[in-house]
Amino acid sequence: MAPIAELRGGIPYGIGFGYDPLLVFALCTLANILIILVIFAFLDYLHEFFMNIKPYRKLFTKVVERGRKKIEKRLGTSWEFVALYLLVAIPLPGTGAYTGTIVSWFFKLDRKKSLVAITLGVITAGIILTLVATGVVTLLT
């Protein structure tokens, strides 16, 4: 559930410790999807208060700036949904549900479409990570 690792750390960690890959995928993905709602609620109701705290303000600005660069060109276009999906789906550091949710909130994107794009992105990233962590991708290459 940590913002930096999310399921990108949880899936390899769980599989590496010998837990059932399907169980690890299901739990990590579900937790990552549920956190989307928590982040939106936090941003809607507590963000302004926390912006008065320097470390929070600095971290928030860094996350928004990173996400902004990846999605800004697509805002207001038919690619907006796809861009948000890809921001979350590609399992690289600094991408994922946290970043996607913050970017969606910051740019005031349609909440329902954002929830779908971010959820699909989390599921896709979970599948990719599970395949890599179990060695399936290595066998195919």
Residue 106, in any domain of the structure: yes
2: phi > 0 → left, psi -120 to 50 → alpha, else beta; which? beta
Residue 40, in any domain of the structure: yes
User: Considering its fold, how many domains does the chain have in total?
Assistant: 1
Domain that holds residue 116: 6-140
CA–CA separation, 128 and 125 (whole Å): 5
Residue 1, in any domain of the structure: no
Query: pTM of the predicted model, to two decimals?
Result: 0.82
Q: What is the pLDDT along the chain (141 residues), one digit of tens a residue?
A: 566 677 888 999 999 999 999 999 999 999 999 999 999 999 999 988 999 999 999 988 887 777 777 777 777 777 889 989 999 999 887 788 998 998 899 888 999 999 999 999 999 999 999 999 998 766 555
109: phi > 0 → left, psi -120 to 50 → alpha, else beta; which? beta
Sign of CA pseudo-dihedral 63, 67, 72, 75: negative
